[in-house]
């Protein structure tokens, strides 16, 4: 495999009703949308693709770049997936997100034609006192789950967690959850856009309509036990599962890294700035940047003062 230069990506934006303007103000996102709820930083999903923003492939969708390049830019590890394996987002929750749950692969492939959705959250920033819902605070039955939805008492059963900057949550498919207002997140997830809402605060969208709920599907896929806790020997690992590995690196000066022919690497800059150097190719980094490094056997380094999230499969 020959050496391939990194590419910068421009995101697809979503202006869901709960979004704010912090991605514009603090993460260098540029959009005509009044508010940006999500920016899809690494995506080949049909609902919003990333676009190459520099180099000879500038303006090309990420999926087009992957198909056009004759090399195996994704790496051998990605070949076990039928689709591009992951999707990475920034999320700005100015208001509460709905109480929701995502299906696993088996249920989603059968009913939706795409993968399920296991994900992880890294808390980039949050207002004082911000919280989220993360599974149930004790084991319940599906009958109790259904009754709580019908009687509008679901929030009383959920595990309410106050958050701080740097917190990490692994949201396995089937975990009932919701991001609370005042929180900015970097989310790494399976390449899926399937969400089953079970409670939405009776909100109305810009057309004056309540958003649909998916009670039957949610009951079919929900895990009604408290979420598992995960501990990793490597302190730099934020999350690790069969779908993705996510690490965080703090750069103060210069740090060396490795990319292999096993998998591409995604670099998301969450603070500061600097430069990424691979194959004598230099890529400027600023807060909010998304860089895709094609699979190959090579060393690269990041210079400067910044924090990055590195993801691969």
Catalytic residues: 197
d(CA 313, CA 261): 12
Q: Which ranges of the chain does DSSP label H, i.e. alpha helix?
A: 22-26, 62-68, 105-111, 142-150, 215-221
Long-range contacts of 154-162 (CB under 8 A, 24+ apart): 154/99, 154/198, 154/199, 155/99, 155/199, 158/99, 158/133, 158/134, 159/133, 159/134, 159/135, 159/226, 159/227, 160/131, 160/132, 160/133, 161/131, 161/132, 161/133, 161/134, 162/129, 162/130, 162/131
Instruction: Work out the widest C-alpha separation in the chain, in whole angstroms.
Output: 62
Q: Helix (H, G, I), strand (E, B), or coil: what is residue 194?
A: coil
The Cα–Cα gap between 198 and 212 comes to: 9
Residue 112 · residue 200 · CB < 8 Å: no
């Amino acid at each position: 495999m020959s050496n391939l230069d990194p590419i910068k990506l421009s995101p697809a934006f979503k202006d869901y009703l709960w979004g704010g303007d912090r991605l514009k103000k603090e993460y260098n996102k540029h959009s005509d949308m009044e508010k940006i709820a999500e920016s899809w930083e690494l995506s080949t999903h049909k609902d919003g693709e990333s676009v190459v923003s520099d180099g000879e492939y500038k303006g090309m969708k990420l999926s087009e770049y992957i198909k056009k390049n004759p090399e195996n830019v994704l790496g051998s590890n990605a070949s076990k997936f039928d689709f591009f394996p992951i999707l990475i987002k920034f999320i700005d929750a100015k208001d509460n997100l709905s109480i929701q749950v995502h299906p696993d692969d088996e249920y989603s492939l059968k009913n939706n034609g795409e993968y399920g959705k296991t994900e992880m959250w890294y808390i980039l920033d949050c207002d004082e006192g911000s919280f989220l819902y993360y599974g149930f605070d004790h084991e319940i039955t599906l009958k109790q789950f259904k009754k709580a939805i019908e009687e509008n008492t679901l929030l009383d059963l959920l595990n309410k967690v106050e958050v701080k900057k740097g917190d990490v949550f692994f949201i396995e498919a089937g975990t009932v959850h919701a991001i609370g207002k005042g929180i900015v997140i970097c989310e790494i997830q399976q390449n899926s856009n399937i969400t089953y809402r079970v409670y939405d605060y009776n909100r109305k969208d810009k057309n004056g309509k309540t958003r649909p709920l998916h009670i039957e599907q949610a009951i079919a896929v929900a895990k009604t036990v408290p979420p598992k806790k995960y501990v990793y020997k490597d302190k730099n690992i934020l999350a690790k599962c069969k779908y993705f590995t996510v690490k965080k690196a703090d750069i103060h000066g210069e740090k060396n890294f490795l990319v292999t022919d096993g998998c591409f690497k995604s670099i998301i800059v969450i603070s500061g700035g600097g430069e990424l150097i691979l194959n004598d190719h230099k890529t400027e980094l600023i807060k909010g940047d998304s860089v895709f490094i094609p699979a190959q056997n090579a060393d690269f380094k990041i210079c400067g003062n910044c924090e990055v999230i590195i993801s691969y499969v």
